[in-house]
Amino acid sequence: MANIQTLEVPIRGMDCVECTQHVQHAISKLDGVKSVDVLLAAEKAIIQLDPEKVGLPAIRKAVASAGDEYSVPETNETLPNQPMGDFNKQLITLLVIVFSIVLSIVIFGEWLGLFKLLDSLVPFPVGLIIVLAGGYPIFRNVIRVTFKGQIISHTLMTLGVIAALAVGEWVTAAIVVVLMRVGEYVENFTTEGARRAVKELTSIAPQTARVERNGEEIEIPVAEVKIDEVVITRPGEKIPVDGEVVSGEATIDQAAITGESMPVEVTKGNHVFAATITKLGSLRIKTLKIGTDTTFGRVVKMVEEAEANRANVQQFADKFSTYYLPIVIVIATLTFLISGNPLSTAAVLVVACSCSIALATPVAMLASIGGSAKRGLLIKGGKYLEVLARADVILVDKTGTLTLGQPKITDVISLNGLSETEILTLAASAERYSEHPLAEAVRVKARIENIKISDVEDFEAITGQGIRAKVNGSLIEIGNRRLVSIPDNLSVVQNLEETGKTLLFISRGKQLVGILAASDTLRSEVPTSIIELRKLGINKIELLTGDNERTASALANQLGIEYRASLLPENKIEIVKEYQSKGHIVVMIGDGVNDAPALAQSNIGISMGAGGTDIAIEASHIALLREDWTLIPEVIGIARRTMGIIKMNLGFTAVYNVVGLTLAAFGFLPPVLAAAAQSLPDIGILTNSARLINQKK
């Protein structure tokens, strides 16, 4: 069986969606390449290949063959992303002004007959040289791809130039060439605007670290920091690694990870993340993760690779662009056959704008995904935004999702003659190795009561039920009714459950000996966020919990939502499938650990508080990097606004091209004005999509 490896190759020179298609086609044809995704914003290709059949030299050669402007650096390193600064509306304004001036000169020059005068004063051979010199880079690329059987947008405009030269109008051809070059700049600017959010994100990463070595503090590149090495940060400095504070106290700005503007206090034992900033105080940090393994590194990588998860509407646009160019050639041919006017034919070829169709979706998606990442919303691809925009059912886990996930033991009920201390000793000892939040609550209660925990044997965690272990030779079981048998008429159980508390039943030797009641705090922002979700038209919100009927009912009634209780993880999957079978688009919100199967099965899985949690980030389609329920209606709103802007982009470009082609075919739009008009849709798309980068809540 072939040893398939994944290789990330940086690629320079790509400045349009059409570029990525050419590069992807060239790489995919190599023997040994299983799959390839070329990412415009990240300027790289992610390739799955058989290293015994294909290597970097062959890939480099294939990329070069796709176009003279494309290249792979000699070293297989990620291209440096330089900070772009804030999105400057003045740049767009300046671009529009400059283009308007050029357009005005062209219009008035045509109207006043200045171009015909220039045509009569300058000999045609001189004009031909001017055209060839000005358009040489474009003409060369068109000739190269033509020999490979490919048609690009510049192919059409080049044919328009040839048509103008054929009837002796070199001035018209020259102006078309000038506007082709202007159009290239506009498209490059548009693409760079789409990349901006990703580049701003990567520019946040710290470059150096101050470490303790041999009793001294030295500053080294972040890449040279070693695991378990102690890093020192001072006020105003970025934390370069993910790690654990070993000494010191500080106020940390975690906006780079969570998007939260409020600083947090950290001290010994707390975890900190790379790219966050020490505001007040100094820290000594034990390094746990560096580089791309840090939470920030994973966020950047996922934002870069989100482009590979293309939305269906984007795939449609890509396919449409492939067929659009041949259709334009057919229209141009019919125009010439019917009218016999070569200039009208040239105008048809020149005005056709396939780039704007291809750009309509990815520019908006990249702007939205990159902008969202800075606000603590990690969206793994455009296809998830597209699906989320149509969501109509939300299913919610309880512990760690609706609640803070920090339950506290409020009641200790002893039965069969055991004291409360004995009950806590048995429970804390048995729960010694459990990772469940309720187990931690039991251990905390034991520490508060200064209870000594006994040794444990044969520990077993039973999913959706509880735990089983031997303590001092006795079999101890702690869990819910599915694990521990309880009498039907225990009034204390009913009373506690009706207050919304979660109960842990404790048995020794299969005999019920005690009950622990735990209470978790509802997130304060949940009620308001649910109201916002209903304003968005999502009326089906349902709590899915392993708690019993009375506990679930108390919480659900408090929030005004539906509920299903006493569920196992597999039951949650069945409920997701139930809604999906009825045609609903299901969003599952969970903590990304116990709910991972349901998150994966849902149309959109959203994990809460994914900062630093590998399982949470991997299991979900969208990860909230801070535990804040206001992000739920916010991300749905972002999805809907993004799809609205994409539809506007596509509608605008479709109408623009139809009108332009019609005017050109009937002789109302001369080639000069057609060339000038060709770049206008790119400016419109950039301006419209830019609204997604810094959109408000």
Q: Could you list the active site residues?
A: 397
How are the residues of the chain apportioned to helix, strand and coil, as percentages rounded to the nearest 5?
50, 20, 30
Would you say 444 and 456 are in contact if contact means Cβ atoms under 8 Å apart? no
CA neighbor of 159 nearest in space, from 142, 174, 134: 142
Would you say 69 and 13 are in contact if contact means Cβ atoms under 8 Å apart? yes
Residue 475 makes CB contacts below 8 A (sequence gap 6+) with: 468, 469, 508, 509, 510
**How many CB atoms are closer than 10 A to CB 443?**
20
Q: How far apart are CA 67 and CA 450, in angstroms?
A: 72
Q: How far apart are CA 137 and CA 139, in angstroms?
A: 6
Q: State in Å, rounded, how far the first CA of the chain is from the last one.
A: 51
Q: How far apart are CA 511 and CA 523, in angstroms?
A: 36
SS3 per residue for 405-458:
CCCEEEEEEECCCCCHHHHHHHHHHHCCCCCCHHHHHHHHHHHHCCCCCCCEEE
Would you say 250 and 280 are in contact if contact means Cβ atoms under 8 Å apart? yes
Burial code (b: 16+ CB inside 10 Å, e: under 16) for 383-419 equals bbbbbbbebbbbbbbbbbbbbbbebebebbbbbeeee
DSSP state of 220: E
- 393-396 and 586-590 beta bridge pairing: parallel
Sheet holding 456-462, edge to edge: 408-414, 511-519, 502-508, 474-479, 466-471, 456-462
Would you say 675 and 115 are in contact if contact means Cβ atoms under 8 Å apart? no
Q: Which long-range contacts (CB under 8 A, 24 or more apart) does 522-526 make?
A: 522/402, 522/403, 522/404, 522/555, 522/558, 522/559, 523/402, 523/403, 523/404, 523/627, 523/629, 525/628, 525/629, 525/630, 526/402, 526/559, 526/629
Q: How far apart are CA 271 and CA 346, in angstroms?
A: 64
Question: Across-strand partners of 71?
Answer: 12
Residue 93 makes CB contacts below 8 A (sequence gap 6+) with: none
DSSP state of 610: -
